[in-house]
Structure 1
Amino acid sequence: MTNLYLENQLCFSLYSATHALLRSYKPDLDKFNLTYPQYLVLVALWQYKQLSIKQIAEKLMLEPATITPVVKRLEVKKLTKRTRQKDDERVVIVSLTEEGLALRDKLSEVQKRVACDTGLTNTAFDSLNQTLGTLTKNVTAKIPD
């Protein structure tokens, strides 16, 4: 029954690592009055320029109902703007404002600091990131809809 020891639980190791990383981000994100989910939405928009609410949800592996309030708060902060798609007004498109674009360089430095905090080499960091991506894809494929 050693498989039930905490140190043998992959889920606990991932949970602990995630918690540690989020704690590392928090002080810097607080300076920008951002939550981690808001930061992730900004990262997605810096990469893809504009996305629908549904596309953001898919990229972040969340439900659209979870993303909508996050985007609304970013809009109140004047970091994003929402528009309706012309040919289908049910689709809400999110894009960055100038203020949202301007945060990119500053938050890039935060990400670099957190990456350094891991103590991993670039190769180990990239390998772990790839392994976790594979793990996520494999486990997600086994989850019933």
Structure 2
Amino acid sequence: MWRKDQMGDEDQLDKAVTEFIWNIVEIHSQLEEIHKTWADMMGISEPQWLILMAIDEIDEGRGVSGIAVANKLRIHPAFVTNQTKKLEEKRFLSRVTSRDDARFLQISLTEEARAEIANLSSKRQALNLTMFAGLDEASLDYLNKRLASIAKNSGLASKKLSIGAL
């Protein structure tokens, strides 16, 4: 049985968690608008922009698989395949057969895509400075570590909820 003072602490925690969740919803909404704007500047859709950004992030020079992109973005691999074909038609991506396994394609940004992204870099830097004003590198590192922990725990909580363990 909970004591009255413990219930108050639990209510405060619940209120803080709810506020955190709504802040994340707001940030997500703003980031969607920002991604849409970047995509519009390049003449592509927001999901296509995110695919380009994911490839840019995870490619280490040999290209990346569609599955790796899908995992990074938490989307279905078939959607990535469909969209990367469209991005290839626009000359933003090249898709070549993997040297390791001919069943898979390795996807890379083209020089044209890299140039388009580079053209946006000063605006992206200014945007980042605005978004993260008041946070130094150490604070941002601390925040990123805490968010990574929350993301991991959220995944676990989601799995538990889906199997009825919560």
Normalising by structure 1, report the TM-score. Answer: 0.77
CA shift in 2, pair 1:73/1:54, >3 Å: same
Normalized per residue, which structure has more strand?
1
Deviations 1:19-42 (A, max 9, x none): 112223433431111333322322
1:14 — aligned with what? 24
CA-CA distance at 1:53 after TM superposition: 0.4
Q: Aligned letter for 2:82?
A: P
Which entry has the higher C-alpha Rg, 1 or 2? 2
Q: CA deviation at 1:9?
A: 4.2
Contact 1:75–1:81 (Cα < 8 Å) also in 2: yes
Residue type at the aligned position of 1:66: F
Is it true that 1:128 corresponds to 2:154 in the alignment? no
Instruction: Give the 3 Å change call, closer, same or farther, for CA 22–120 of structure 1 in structure 2.
Output: farther
Supply the distance in 1 between the matched residues of 2:38 and 2:54 (Cα, whole angstroms): 19
1:115 partner letter: N
Identity value in percent = 26
Matches within 5 A, 1:40-79: 40-47=50-57, 48=59, 49=61, 50-79=63-92
Distance 1:28 1:53, change over 3 A: closer
What is the alpha-carbon distance in structure 2 between the residues aligned to residue 70 and residue 113 of structure 1?
29
User: Residue in 2 aligned with 1:83?
Assistant: 96
Using CA pairs under 8 Å that are at least 6 residues apart, name the structure with larger relative contact order, 1 or 2. 1
CA 1:23/1:44 → structure 2, altered by over 3 Å: closer, same or farther? closer
Rounded to whole Å, the distance in 2 between the matches of 1:36 and 1:128 is 26
Normalising to structure 2: TM-score of the pair? Answer: 0.69
User: What number of residue pairs does the alignment pair up?
Assistant: 145
> Could you tell me which residue of structure 2 aligns to residue 114 of structure 1?
127
Structure 1 unaligned regions, length at least 5 = none
Q: Distance in 2 between matches of 1:126 and 1:73?
A: 36
Q: CA RMSD in A?
A: 2.9
| Structure 2: unaligned runs, 5 residues or longer | 1-10
